[in-house]
Amino acid sequence: MITTAARRVWVWHRTPESLWSRRITLAATIVFLLVVSRWRPWDLFDRGGFSTDFYDAQAHAFLRGRLDVPAHIPGPEGFLIDGKTYLYYGPTLAVLRLPFALFGHWADGRLSAVSMVAAFFVACTTTFHLARRVASLLGGGSPRRYAVLVAAVACSPALSLAGWNSVYDETELWAFALFLLTATAALRMWAAPGCHTVLVAVALATATVLTRSSVGIGALAAVGFTGVLLWRRHRRVAVAAGAGAVGGLLLNVAVNLAKFGTLLDLPADRQLLSLQNPARAAWFAGNDGSFFSLRFLPTTVVHYLRPDTVRFERLLPFVRFGPLATEHGSYPLEGNTPASSLPTSATLLFLLAILGVWVIVRRRSWPLAAVLAGALAGAAPTFLIGFVANRYLTDMLPALVVPAAAAVATVALPAGAAGRGVRWLVTVLVVWGTWVNVALAVWTQNLKQPGFTEMRYRVDDAIFGGPPPSVIDLLPASSAPRDGIVAIDGECAGLYIAEQTRWVPLELAEGERRLRGTIESTDTPVIVSAPEGDVHITFADGAATASYTPVDGEPAIGVAVSLGDLPALVDITSDPISGGLRVQVAGRQSLFAFAAPSLAQATITDNLRPTIAADGNTPLCDFLQSRRGGGSSLGARGST
């Protein structure tokens, strides 16, 4: 099934008029693949991190005739209903995983990055066909004009989703691609009404709503609205389109009812994040138990449409996120994460869309108006959600692509120098969009990676020299400034980077906040005894289990991990800044606890042989300190 579908997409991709669009699509897809694989395409099929196995778990559940999944898979993202744990993602992408799930769990967590690359390729390919369909409706168009629209989509925020291999970005990308497929099918249904065209449009809209409900409801609306326009011409197709749209919505409602007992909304109070976090639970209680409210509209509209949501800096990749959204609503956001905006990271597409709306109104193109209305309906819930995130921009892209297709079909370039100027402007905006979205993807992907920070400052030293930018002395009592600021604690006891008002450790000095060693024997437990409490590592049946017993308080017991052959490496980090104690044995985490015993004052049993570097093993921190010359980069403080 998957092979046949891939073959059809490839044939659909290679049409006589699509040469320029194909080249742009392939080039952009290669860029997307390189970014999502961290510039190591041979690692594309490696097992991903948290959430990359959500759809695999759902596929395994379907094979067992169930909707619930094991509780440890979604963790805090799961919804606890009557003792069972459910995922809130639609079943479409899980169904596509079924051929792999039939052969066991070997593919779990390995398919999400590949799926994202495929979704990006499908979105770009479909953009060409949508542009051609709109051109046949309005008249005009040309292969190079279609290629402009494909380039505008390829360098839009869809490209930035390569920065996070996750169920969240995979879902966003496929919802976008499926909406574009639905829009193309709806316009084909308008041009050639019949059983086949209406079935294809309804099937694609239903697949969209069962991928991401908000965008999918817009896809169903686009099919339904187009059907209404066919009432006088082809009443049977009109009825079928309307019935199919309603049927798709009812199917989505049925899935939601089976999982959560609600029609469309999610029981926010039953999500483990809410059950475990009193502040989050209180937020939902104050918002009528919903993720959505009109009260968020002033905040989200202003932020997603403002033109200044990125900032330049002299560190690679030279562009970063700007300040967080300023709250204008009467109720605070629950989540306010770094996000760009449509004018900033979808500049070319945004400008084309403005022209396209004028074309649709002037031409009174009701079919395009119907599809655009559906796209706006699909984007509306994103403006009402109490969260700001960069990936949500993808929900809004269909509302830009549809009118932009009208613009490239009908708006001709002026002659002479003005036409050359427009071509140069388009080229510049494509380069800008690519740069911004790749930069934001790389920023999202690598912000907390020590190697990324070291590379940036090494390059900066080679080009500019002098004191490093955005490096400050850590003030433990103060909250972290804007994301990306690097802070040094004391004489390199720790090196940290700011992320969402938190300090995340990049380096911790060995012998002070980090202890590494090798287990020489399992005859007796390993005990690391600090003034605040003791870390124990016990052994049984070839496995090791870490625990922490504070002087005052309840012990924290970790999970058993396979020990393997001796000697086995132990890595203990205890960080008073982030407030976390982690114990890894043989490369696997056994314990995390909200504690920070002093390792510098700890005693260690003889069966753990410590390996402590004389200089604390903080080469990046030492390098930054040497560049600062013992000073402080005051210009970084409070910067936005």
pLDDT in tens, 529-554: 999 999 999 988 889 999 999 998 88
Same domain, 145 and 172: yes
What confidence tier does 500 reach under pLDDT thresholds 50, 70, 90?
confident
The crossing angle, in degrees rounded to 10, of helices 213-229 and 366-384 is 160
Same domain, 497 and 561: no
Instruction: Establish if 227 belongs to a structural domain.
Output: yes
pLDDT, residue 13, reads: 56
Condensed to tens digits (0 to 9), the pLDDT of residues 577-631 reads: 988 999 999 888 999 998 999 998 999 988 888 886 666 789 999 999 999 985 4
Instruction: Establish if 237 belongs to a structural domain.
Output: yes
Same domain, 596 and 629: no
The answer, yes or no, to whether residue 329 has pLDDT greater than 70, is yes
Q: Tell me which of 477 and 511 has the higher pLDDT.
A: 511
Domain that holds residue 139: 2-414+429-440
Same domain, 390 and 277: yes
Same domain, 87 and 217: yes
Mean pLDDT of 345-359: 97
The crossing angle, in degrees rounded to 10, of helices 235-260 and 195-209 is 20
Same domain, 607 and 573: yes
Instruction: Establish if 95 belongs to a structural domain.
Output: yes
| Number of Cβ atoms within 10 Å of the Cβ of 65 | 6
pLDDT, residue 5, reads: 59
pLDDT, residue 639, reads: 36
Give the CATH number of the domain where residue 588 resides. Answer: 2.60.120.200
pLDDT, residue 640, reads: 35
Q: Tell me which of 119 and 10 has the higher pLDDT.
A: 119
Mean pLDDT of 234-251: 96
Same domain, 303 and 349: yes
Instruction: Establish if 445 belongs to a structural domain.
Output: no
Instruction: Establish if 447 belongs to a structural domain.
Output: no
The answer, yes or no, to whether residue 251 has pLDDT greater than 90, is yes
Q: Are the beta carbons of 556 and 547 closer than 8 angstroms?
A: yes
Terminal C-alpha separation, the chain:
50
Q: Are the beta carbons of 325 and 295 closer than 8 angstroms?
A: no
Sign of CA dihedral 70, 72, 75, 81: positive
Residue closest to 146 by CA, chosen among 120, 125, 128, 126: 128
Q: Where are the alpha helices (DSSP H) in 328-392?
A: 342-345, 347-363, 366-384
Sign of CA dihedral 175, 181, 184, 189: negative
- What CA–CA distances, in Å, run from 499 to 52, 96, 317, 502? 22, 35, 17, 5
Q: Tell me which of 4 and 125 has the higher pLDDT.
A: 125
Q: Report strand pairing: 494-499 vs 486-489.
A: antiparallel
CB neighbour list of residue 180: distance below 8 Å, 6 or more residues apart: 123, 126, 127, 130, 398, 401
User: What percent of the chain is modeled with pLDDT above 90?
Assistant: 77
Token output for 374: 């559906």
Condensed to tens digits (0 to 9), the pLDDT of residues 173-231 reads: 999 999 999 999 999 999 999 999 999 999 999 999 999 999 999 999 999 999 999 99
pLDDT, residue 612, reads: 67
Instruction: Establish if 423 belongs to a structural domain.
Output: no
Q: How far apart are CA 430 and CA 151, in angstroms?
A: 7
| pTM recorded for the entire structure | 0.92
- Tally of structural domains, the chain: 3
pLDDT, residue 450, reads: 93
Same domain, 409 and 546: no
Same domain, 498 and 548: no
